[in-house]
């Protein structure tokens, strides 16, 4: 009898394997890649201004004692248009927003800001995507909350929808 | 959640679907199909990617063949962030091109492939590498095949025994 049970063992192991694979296949896919830098200092970088006559952005800007929100965006990114009203709402509620424009041209950026609003205090030009990769960001748009000591506190992946605004404001307040 | 994804692959698919007009179609249909094809092939990349040219070294080999070999080997084990499931060496996504450029430039500057891999893992986690390190979480990947092989041998051990003559 014991021998019989042992002969079933491979089938049982295989059935377990099928269950594990099926659970993995049918679970909703989570394709968001969190930055591993949350809780870590902002990496060193210095971005030239994306628009003439406006300030650029460098990592030293994040060590001035006040928290800041950094929005990684691009004029060629469609979801970035969808989150524009939410960025305007954040600005209206006193949240300072810095921009990192990924692979953008000044003329496209100007048209984008004219059409969808301009909540940015500074806009750095990340033309080779180096700073986006440096921050552990995997796409546009993404938004980081960084505290006054330059520690990354929060990452929002994807466009900021109206229901996401309170979480961002809470993260900003918590970073004070 | 909507994220920027390379639409060019979708467009290419749609392009072939609309792009081979059936011979029986009338010329008006043909013109329509051509217009639809053009719409998908021309418009989609502009939505998905920026208008800036590809990064230097995104699609250009390093002059030093030894360095290029190192860079290529690393790129084949680094996962693309936007076209998940592809290595950056295989991907046409703009972001993959930027990552190839980053790897080639760092190799050229004298960094070792392991240093660059560690740099990427520090930002994106082990997710980013197709060569996951041996850790408590990943040891079943190495341990399970050995265990299964041993279990199989144990089950089959009777077969290897010389049968006693009756």
Q: Do A136 and B124 touch (CB under 8 A)?
A: yes
Task: Looking at the complex, report in whole angstroms how far the Cα of residue A165 sits from the nearest Cα belonging to chain B.
Answer: 15
- The per-residue pLDDT for B53 is 87
Prediction pTM value: 0.76
* Mutation to test the A interface, candidates B43, B46, B50, B102, most A Cβ within 10 Å: B50
DSSP class of residue A29?
P
- The per-residue pLDDT for A167 is 95
Q: Do A102 and B50 touch (CB under 8 A)?
A: yes
- Model pLDDT for residues B48-76, shown as the tens digit of each residue: 688 888 888 999 999 999 999 999 999 99
Going by pLDDT thresholds of 50, 70 and 90, the confidence category of residue B12 is: very low
Residues of chain A with C-beta less than 8 angstroms from the C-beta of B57: none
Residues of chain B with C-beta less than 8 angstroms from the C-beta of A33: 81, 124-125, 127-128
Kindly report which listed range (A113-122, B36-45, B123-132) carries the lowest average pLDDT score.
B36-45
Average pLDDT over residues B86-97: 93
Query: Which tokens in the block code for residue A149?
Result: 């000591």
The answer on pLDDT for B10 being more than 60 is no
Q: Which residue has the higher pLDDT, B25 or A84?
A: A84
- The per-residue pLDDT for B132 is 80
* Mutation to test the A interface, candidates B55, B83, B95, B96, most A Cβ within 10 Å: B95
CA gap B6, A117 in Å, rounded: 26
Is residue A136 included in any domain, yes or no?
yes
- What percentage of chain B reaches a pLDDT higher than 70? 73
CA gap A42, A59 in Å, rounded: 7
B125 contact A CB<8A: yes
Asked if A110 contacts A51 with a C-beta cutoff of 8 angstroms, the reply is yes
Q: Do A104 and B94 touch (CB under 8 A)?
A: no
Is residue A27 included in any domain, yes or no?
no
A15 contact B CB<8A: no
Query: 3-class SS at A114?
Result: helix
The answer on pLDDT for B14 being more than 70 is no
State the DSSP string of chain B. -------HHHHHHHHHHHHS--TTS-HHHHHHHHHHHHHHHHHHHHHHS-SSPPPTTSSS--SSHHHHHHHHHHHTTBB-SSSTTSBTTT---HHHHHHHHHHHHHHHTT--HHHHHHHHHHHH-GGGBSS----TTTHHHHHHHHHHHHHHHHHTHHHHSPPPP-
User: Which CATH number does the domain housing residue A106 bear?
Assistant: 3.40.30.10
Task: Looking at the complex, report in whole angstroms how far the Cα of residue A6 sits from the nearest Cα belonging to chain B.
Answer: 8
Going by pLDDT thresholds of 50, 70 and 90, the confidence category of residue B31 is: confident
Show which of residues 84-123 on chain B sit within 8 Å of chain A, judged by CB atoms.
84, 94-95, 98-99, 101-102, 121-123
Residues of chain A with C-beta less than 8 angstroms from the C-beta of B119: none
B52 contact A CB<8A: yes
Name the nearest CA neighbour of B54 among B8, B101, B89. B101
The answer on pLDDT for B6 being more than 50 is no
**Dihedral, CA of residue A13, residue A18, residue A20 and residue A25, to nearest 10:** 170
Is residue A155 included in any domain, yes or no?
yes
Is residue A90 included in any domain, yes or no?
yes
Q: Do A157 and B1 touch (CB under 8 A)?
A: yes
- The per-residue pLDDT for B43 is 46
Average pLDDT over residues B19-44: 59
Is residue A93 included in any domain, yes or no?
yes
Q: Do A76 and B46 touch (CB under 8 A)?
A: yes
Average pLDDT over residues B104-111: 96
The answer on pLDDT for B13 being more than 60 is no
- The domains located in chain B, with CATH, are 8-48 (no CATH), 52-143 (1.10.8.640)
ipTM: 0.86
Going by pLDDT thresholds of 50, 70 and 90, the confidence category of residue B1 is: very low
Task: Looking at the complex, report in whole angstroms how far the Cα of residue B148 sits from the nearest Cα belonging to chain A.
Answer: 9
The total number of structural domains that make up chain A: 1
pLDDT profile of chain A (176 residues), mean per 10 = 78 93 89 91 95 93 92 94 95 95 95 95 95 94 95 95 95 92
Give the number of other Cβ atoms within 10 Å of residue B159's Cβ. Answer: 7
Q: Which domain holds residue A137?
A: 46-174
Q: Which residue has the higher pLDDT, B41 or B70?
A: B70
């Amino acid at each position: 009898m014991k021998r019989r049970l042992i002969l079933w063992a491979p089938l049982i192991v295989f059935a377990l394997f099928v269950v594990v694979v099926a659970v993995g296949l049918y679970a909703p896919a989570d394709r968001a890649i969190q930055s591993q830098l949350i809780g870590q200092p902002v990496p060193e970088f210095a971005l030239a201004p994306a628009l003439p006559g406006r300030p650029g952005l460098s990592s030293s800007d994040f060590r001035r004692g006040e928290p800041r929100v950094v929005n990684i965006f691009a004029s060629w990114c469609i979801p970035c248009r969808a989150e524009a009203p939410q960025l305007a709402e954040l600005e209206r509620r006193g949240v300072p927003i810095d921009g990192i424009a990924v692979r953008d041209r000044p003329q496209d950026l100007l048209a984008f800001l004219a059409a969808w609003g301009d909540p940015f205090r500074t806009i750095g030009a990340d033309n080779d995507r180096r700073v986006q990769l440096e921050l552990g960001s995997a796409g546009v748009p993404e938004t980081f909350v960084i505290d006054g000591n330059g520690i990354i506190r929060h990452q929002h992946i994807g466009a900021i929808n109206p229901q996401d605004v309170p979480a961002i404001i809470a993260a900003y307040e918590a970073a004070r | 959640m909507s994220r920027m994804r390379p639409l060019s692959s979708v467009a290419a698919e749609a392009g072939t679907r609309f792009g081979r007009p059936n011979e029986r179609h009338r010329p008006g249909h043909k013109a329509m199909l051509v217009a639809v094809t053009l719409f998908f092939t021309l418009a989609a990349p502009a939505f998905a990617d920026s208008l800036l040219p590809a990064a230097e070294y995104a699609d250009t080999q390093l002059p030093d063949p030894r360095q290029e070999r190192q860079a290529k080997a690393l790129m084949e084990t680094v996962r693309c962030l936007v076209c998940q499931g592809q290595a950056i060496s295989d991907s046409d996504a703009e972001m993959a091109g930027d990552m190839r450029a980053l790897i080639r430039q760092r190799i050229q500057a004298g960094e070792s492939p392991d240093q660059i891999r560690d740099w990427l893992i520090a930002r994106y986690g082990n997710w980013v590498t197709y060569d996951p390190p041996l850790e408590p979480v990943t040891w079943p990947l190495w341990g399970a095949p050995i265990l299964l092989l041993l279990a199989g041998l144990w089950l089959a051990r009777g077969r290897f025994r010389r049968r006693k003559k009756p």
